[in-house]
Amino acid sequence: MQYRDIRGLAVSGATAEALPYYEQAVAELQCYRADPLASVDRALELAPGFAMAHVLRAWLHLLGTEPDGLPVARAAHEQAARHAANGRERGHAAAIGHLLDGHWHRAARVLEDVTIDAPRDALGLLAGHLIDFYVGHSRMLRDRIARALPAWNDSVPGYHAVLGMHAFGLEESADYARAARAGRRAVELERRDAWAWHAVAHVMEMQNRTAEGIAWLRSDTAAWAEDNFFRVHNWWHLAVFHYDRGELDAVLERFDHEIFGSPSAMALDLVDAAALLWRLHLRGAPLGARWAAVADGWAPLARAGNYAFNDAHAVMAFVGAGRRADAAAVLAAQQEAMLRDDDNAAFVREVGHPLCRALVAFGDGDYGAVVALLRPIRSIAHRFGGSHAQRDLIDLTLLEAALRGGESALAAALAAERIDLRPASPLARLFVARSEALPLAA
């Protein structure tokens, strides 16, 4: 018997008993909550030949950028490819294979075609959206979802997730008003949609509406924080709002409790922890043993060399903790990564390696080298992934290096640039004041 999922798409190898567990796993992943892996594993216990369940299991182990997830994803990919019996399933299997080989852009393009043909493929849209995020492709973050929108409405299960993804794509494309509307509507439909909460927080970050951003996330923390594996990132957003306001005690409180109160070994959580501490480091905040705890988390991943964005955050932790050998190990792994024939080689070569070298130079107090390394990459930094909000760390580091290095004209120019974008920002005003206090170059 040919079964179909709740959105009407054929699912090869499914059974009546297994299908509800698969649907549960997809719904959990759309909200980044509960344990979608346990749900899909139950589906596979009941239907070992369920192709899309194997597909989902592979994506779950790939989309977190965890090196340890690759062997599991390979095994799931083999099963998915074996059991795929229609074009959509074969498309997913092909995309997974490309990503396993490090070809992010090929995977994204295959999924593009999958969801053009099957716009109600919730998993295809989500996987493609996350890959667009990881490669910094802001236009496709928006347009991949926009293409599918006509096939969705309030009556289609999971519509909230499509709206939440569209909201984030609109935000990364600077269409802030539409992004906020879409994100809020997604939360109205499903209050536990952590990605939609996050999309609206991004809008407020980019518009420097820090008080509103704090109020937004505080309005229902249980919705996005309880039993949610994306909660650390949303706590990070809350902390960044406080950071811009100069409320460093509140930032440290968030770090010590929700962000790294229970140290995580997940790369995505370690990215947030390192990024927040680096911001505090730039402000000269006393961090005590916090750096060491985050560096310990990154240490097993230092030689992974599988994703340049992660490399940079590992180096932040190692520089902050004074662990030069570990930072050097990341740089060495990057040298090897640049020799490979995959997309990460370009991510590393164009952005990741110069950024990591700049972070090491910052730790050495060689601010001239930091400026020289960061200025060429700041306009192309999207090529190694992340969001505008996350990549702001590059601009913050460049500006701080110009100030500490006494490059008064450059510091004044960068401070003017920032205050133009964020006229109400206490941090931007502080940069202007510090640049004005520098002695003029002879």
Task: Please give, one letter per residue, the 3-state secondary structure of the chain.
Answer: CCEECCCCCEECCCCCCCHHHHHHHHHHHHHCECCHHHHHHHHHHHCCCCHHHHHHHHHHHHCCCCCCHHHHHHHHHHHHHHHCCCHHHHHHHHHHHHHHCCCHHHHHHHHHHHHHHCCCCHHHHHHHHHHHHHCCCHHHHHHHHHHHHHHCCCCCCCHHHHHHHHHHHHHHCCCHHHHHHHHHHHHHHCCCCHHHHHHHHHHHHHCCCHHHHHHHHHCCHHHHHCCECCHHHHHHHHHHHHHHCCCHHHHHHHHHHHHCCCCCCCHHHHHHHHHHHHHHHHCCCCCCCHHHHHHHHHHHHCCCCCCHHHHHHHHHHHHHCCCHHHHHHHHHHHHHHCCCCCHHHHHHHHHHHHHHHHHHHHHHCCHHHHHHHHCCCCCCHHHHCCCHHHHHHHHHHHHHHHHHCCCHHHHHHHHHHHHHHCCCCHHHHHHHHHHHHCCCCC
Q: Of 126, 163, 164, 167, give the one whose Cα is nearest residue 26.
A: 126
Q: How many domains does the chain have?
A: 2
Q: How confident is the model at residue 438 (pLDDT cuts 50, 70, 90)?
A: very high
Which tokens belong to 219?
A: 């309005």
Mean pLDDT score, 35-45: 98
pLDDT of residue 210: 98
**Domain final position from 157, 192, 225:** 157
The answer to whether residues 305 and 281 touch, using CB atoms and an 8 Å cutoff, is no
Helical packing angle, 176-189 and 194-206, nearest 10°: 150
Predicted pLDDT of residue 442: 59
The phi and psi torsions of 50 (rounded to 5 degrees) equal -75, 100
* Domain-terminating residue out of 157, 191, 208: 157
Residue 234 lies in a domain: no
Within a domain: residue 140?
yes
Largest CA distance in the chain: 82
Q: Is residue 327 part of a domain?
A: yes
**pLDDT at position 302:** 87
Q: Is residue 391 part of a domain?
A: yes
In a shared domain, residues 17 and 148: yes
Residue range 150-177: mean pLDDT, rounded:
98
Q: What is the Cα–Cα distance from 114 to 101, expressed in whole angstroms? A: 19
What whole-number distance in Å separates Cα of residue 191 and Cα of residue 239?
21
Question: In terms of domains, do 1 and 146 share one?
Answer: yes
User: Is there a contact between 386 and 309 (Cβ–Cβ < 8 Å)?
Assistant: yes
What pLDDT sits at residue 441?
A: 67
* 278-293: pLDDT as tens digits: 999 999 999 999 999 9
Whether residues 3 and 133 fall in one domain: yes
Instruction: Assess contact for 198 and 240: CB atoms under 8 A.
Output: no
Distance, in Å, from the CA atom of 42 to the CA atom of 234, rounded to the nearest integer, reads 29
pLDDT in tens, 350-365: 999 999 999 999 999 9
- Average pLDDT for 263-280: 97
Average pLDDT, the chain: 97
Task: State how far the Cα of 306 lies from the Cα of 301, in Å rounded to an integer.
Answer: 9
pLDDT of 263 reads: 92
- Is the sign of the CA dihedral 216, 218, 220, 224 positive or negative? positive
What are the pLDDT digits (tens) for 231-253?
999 999 999 999 999 999 999 99
For residue 10, is pLDDT > 80? Answer: yes
- 28 lies in some domain: yes
Distance of CA 15 to the CA centre of its chain: 34
Quick one: average pLDDT of 54-82? 97
Check residue 110 and give its pLDDT: 98
Q: What is the CATH number of the domain that holds 2?
A: 1.25.40
Domain-embedded: residue 303: yes
> Could you tell me the pLDDT band of residue 440, with boundaries at 50, 70 and 90?
confident
Amino acid identity at 149: L
Neighbour tally for 422: CB within 10 Å: 18
Average pLDDT of the segment spanning 357-377: 98
> pLDDT for 165-222, tens place per residue?
999 999 999 999 999 999 999 999 999 999 999 999 999 999 999 999 999 999 999 9
Last residue of a domain, one of 91, 126, 157: 157
- 142 and 1 assigned to the same domain: yes
**Residues 151-165, mean pLDDT to the nearest whole number:** 98
The parent domain of residue 399 ranges over 277-405
Percent of the chain with pLDDT over 70: 100
**Could you report the per-residue pLDDT of 390-428, keeping only the tens digit for each?**
999 999 999 999 999 999 999 999 999 999 999 999 999
Q: Residue 420, exposed/middle/buried by CB under 10 A (0-12, 13-18, 19+)?
A: exposed
In a domain, 1, yes or no: yes
| Same structural domain, 150 and 281 | no
Residues 402, 248, 232, 172, CA torsion sign = negative
Q: Does 230 map to a domain?
A: no
pLDDT interval class at 1 (50, 70, 90):
confident
